[in-house]
Structure 1
Amino acid sequence: MTKGRPTISILEEGMREGMQIESADIPASEKIRLLDALSATGLKRIHVGAFVSPKWTPQMANVDEVIAGFTPVEGVTYTAIVLNQKGAERRDAYGEKLSLPDPTLGRSKIHLCDVFVRRNINISQQDEIDALGRAVATAKEKGVTHAEISVNAAWGSNWLGEFSEDERMRLLQLQYDAWTEAGVPVTRIHVGDPMSWNTPSAVRSMMRRLVATWPEVKDYHLHLHDARGMAMLSAYVAMEELDERHTLQIDTAIGGMGGCPYCGNGRATRMIPTEDFVHLLESEGVETGVDLAKLIEAGVIAEEVVGHELWSKVTAAGPRPTGADVYPMDMPFIETFEQASHFRKGPSVYEGAMSPYREPVKSPARDEYEARLAAEKESN
């Protein structure tokens, strides 16, 4: 029997994970332009920003203006990150636009890297472990009915090196036991990788072990950074290890922008480009409901907003051309990024380029291809 695939959910992180590492001088109006473009693509989940201190994340100083100014689209869930009660109160003021966290879901998280958590939120790994029992008890008092357990900096650290799978499982087990002993079932597992230590083999092994250890858990969430170019490979491996019983949320960002300033890699930390991941899914027969052409246009807008090239492959080269979108046979040499944009801008971008063809290129194979297209069109 052929194994089915999990349900894939995409969380678009460009407005939060991406913007937090870009220039603080980007005006709210430009962020709104990008957010509105993303909203029109068919994406169903978008992080719009974070309610955090502008002292340490100045890029989020105008988050209120962005949220007040964008136009929500029906059917899209918009969320924002908060780190404390003050942030929660700011977020709650936009309840007509933002979806609030599920009050029935409890969450716990432990970082594998003690250095990272000290740099990031000024506590130690042991502080997180020591607070676990109190956090679970408080959550149960508030009426949570199920829980998510999480490890962050999961596969390795730029300060402490690689972490073992046994250590990841140990910290997840601590959380699982705490929730289970409190009578709260664990239904979700989140694994984060802010420092881009994921590898396909490590992710494959981890997913297999998670499924084998806790077969009752059906929902998974991966936050993979791409500084070393393996995040989309790792996401694909995770997708292949799960089946139709599961859901898998993958965090991506338009253009691949993203990065934590505490990780040591800056903007080079990157994320999986949303356009590229949607193209991958569609190419593998996974329906996403996303208009890839509109997503590519959003990728172009993202580059205009941040003021530099981003890292999406399909925004630069286009999706695989099919049907009537295949390229003209006698197009000239294509060498520059601007010329490569002919798939969306048309042939004017390569006018005057060097060409060796004195006569139009002809091919019986192309004739057969076009005849087949015509016949298919007529039959439809």
Structure 2
Amino acid sequence: MTGYVEIFEVGPRDGLQNEKREIPVSEKIELVDCLSNAGFKRIECASFVSPKWVPQMAGSGEVLMGIKRANGVRYAALTPNMRGYEDALAAKADEIAVFASASEGFSRANINASIEESLDRFAPILEAARHIDLPVRGYVSCVTDCPFDGPTAPSQVAAVADRLFAMGCYEISLGDTLGKATPDSIARMLLKVRDVIPVGRLAGHFHDTSGRALANIDAALSLGVRVFDAAVGGLGGCPYAPGAAGNVATEAVAAHLERLGYDTGLDMDVINQAAQMARSMRGEQEAHV
């Protein structure tokens, strides 16, 4: 196997949002600055959600304004509403992201809105971003399993992904939020989604709760997916998904892809340095529990 596979680094946002220790802005900036030297094309490092609901994302504007931006790297921010969109613009985010769920139960628990209501909420964000050519990425959560509704129908994932793509999202990241997916359930889901969205516009976002993230990446690779989200040091999880462990670790994904013969363009020495930094953030948190 040969070819390029991109790893989209989400550790500074999706990774840190679930850590219990209050991590200073300076540490977040240090982590992003380290990752900026690793060869990533995209790093998600901010989330303009209410600090009341996700306190770890307080100071996101300060992070974006404080990092040393590397040439060729886009710095992304999550924007759940128009206020978040405006804050992201003020902080000079290079791209933004909106997030929907493929299951009603998770949508209501996560953002207190139905799937349809969440999509309606994103419409003005995507319209505003289109007018200034700001890239918008779309996340779909619970693509195989939901902690409230059980298994997610692949057709439902395809329907939500199709809506986000039609609204203007340049890429759709498909999230195994609980980490319960298997290669078979990932394949069934992707076959449905590929019917409505070109595979080159899809990304995999797999948690390693059950130790199957790399196997699920293999299943997605076999169906043409060439972008995968990962969090350095395996940080993360989801505050609204009980039992969800961390995202699959960037260093594990990069090493796995290299073994398969794919090029990631990443400097493993820098990745390992960043992973050590990320794990120390978690370790300090655990020492205070």
Q: Does 1:206 align with 2:193?
A: no
1:191 aligned partner: 174
1:118 aligned partner: 108
Aligned-pair distance for 1:206?
2.7
Query: Is the deviation greater in 75-84 or in 119-128?
Result: 119-128
Q: Does 1:241 align with 2:223?
A: yes
1:99 aligned partner: 94
SS in structure 2 opposite 1:307?
A: helix
2:203 aligned partner: 221
Amino acid in the other structure paired with 1:77: R
Determine which of 44, 50, 55 is the counterpart of 1:47.
Answer: 44
**Equivalences for residues 294-309 of structure 1 within 5 A:** 294-307=270-283
CA RMSD between the two structures: 3.4
Q: Structure 1: which 5+ runs fail to align?
A: 102-106, 311-380
User: How many angstroms apart in 1 are the aligned matches of 2:150 and 2:47?
Assistant: 29
Amino acid in the other structure paired with 1:300: Q
Q: Aligned pair in 2 of structure 1 residues 149, 258: CA closer, same or farther (>3 Å)? A: closer
User: How many angstroms apart in 2 are the aligned matches of 1:287 and 1:6?
Assistant: 6
Amino acid in the other structure paired with 2:142: A
Query: Is the deviation greater in 77-86 or in 254-263?
Result: 77-86
Percent sequence identity is: 30
Q: Aligned pair in 2 of structure 1 residues 167, 6: CA closer, same or farther (>3 Å)? A: farther
SS in structure 2 opposite 1:278?
A: helix
SS in structure 1 opposite 2:8?
A: strand
Determine which of 5, 11, 31 is the counterpart of 1:8.
Answer: 5
User: How many angstroms apart in 1 are the aligned matches of 2:98 and 2:45?
Assistant: 23
2:64 aligned partner: 67
Query: Is the deviation greater in 290-299 or in 65-74?
Result: 65-74
Output one character per residue of 1:36-62: Cα deviation in whole Å (capped at 9) or x when no partner. 111121222111121221111111122
Q: Does 1:23 align with 2:27?
A: no
The answer (yes or no) to whether the contact 1:112–1:151 under 8 Å persists in 2 is yes
Q: Aligned pair in 2 of structure 1 residues 209, 262: CA closer, same or farther (>3 Å)? A: closer
Output one character per residue of 1:319-364: Cα deviation in whole Å (capped at 9) or x when no partner. xxxxxxxxxxxxxxxxxxxxxxxxxxxxxxxxxxxxxxxxxxxxxx
User: How many angstroms apart in 2 are the aligned matches of 1:28 and 1:149?
Assistant: 26
**Equivalences for residues 1-380 of structure 1 within 5 A:** 7-95=4-92, 98-101=93-96, 111-128=101-118, 131=120, 135=123, 139=127, 151-169=140-158, 171-172=160-161, 175=163, 179=166, 188-211=171-194, 213-214=195-196, 218-242=200-224, 248-265=226-243, 268-307=244-283
Output one character per residue of 1:282-304: Cα deviation in whole Å (capped at 9) or x when no partner. 11111111111221111111122
User: How many angstroms apart in 2 are the aligned matches of 1:15 and 1:87?
Assistant: 17
Q: Aligned pair in 2 of structure 1 residues 65, 232: CA closer, same or farther (>3 Å)? A: same
User: How many angstroms apart in 1 are the aligned matches of 2:227 and 2:68?
Assistant: 25
Q: Aligned pair in 2 of structure 1 residues 190, 48: CA closer, same or farther (>3 Å)? A: closer
Aligned-pair distance for 1:198?
1.6
SS in structure 2 opposite 1:302?
A: helix
The answer (yes or no) to whether the contact 1:155–1:164 under 8 Å persists in 2 is yes
Flag the structure with more relative contact order, 1 or 2, with Cα contacts below 8 A and sequence separation at least 6: 2
Output one character per residue of 1:203-228: Cα deviation in whole Å (capped at 9) or x when no partner. 123333444x3485532122222222
Q: Aligned pair in 2 of structure 1 residues 153, 76: CA closer, same or farther (>3 Å)? A: same
Q: Under a length normalisation based on structure 1, what TM-score does the superposition of the two structures give?
A: 0.65
User: How many angstroms apart in 2 are the aligned matches of 1:33 and 1:124?
Assistant: 37
Structure showing greater Rg: 1
User: How many angstroms apart in 1 are the aligned matches of 2:275 and 2:207?
Assistant: 18
Output one character per residue of 1:224-264: Cα deviation in whole Å (capped at 9) or x when no partner. 2222222221112101221xxxx632110001111111111
Output one character per residue of 1:112-164: Cα deviation in whole Å (capped at 9) or x when no partner. 322211111111235357x49x949x849966999987643111111221123
The answer (yes or no) to whether the contact 2:170–2:201 under 8 Å persists in 1 is yes
User: How many angstroms apart in 2 are the aligned matches of 1:110 and 1:150?
Assistant: 6
SS in structure 1 opposite 2:226?
A: strand
The answer (yes or no) to whether the contact 1:14–1:257 under 8 Å persists in 2 is yes
Alignment length, in residue pairs?
Answer: 284
Amino acid in the other structure paired with 1:253: A
SS in structure 2 opposite 1:115?
A: helix
Aligned-pair distance for 1:25?
2.0
The answer (yes or no) to whether the contact 2:77–2:88 under 8 Å persists in 1 is yes
User: How many angstroms apart in 2 are the aligned matches of 1:117 and 1:52?
Assistant: 15
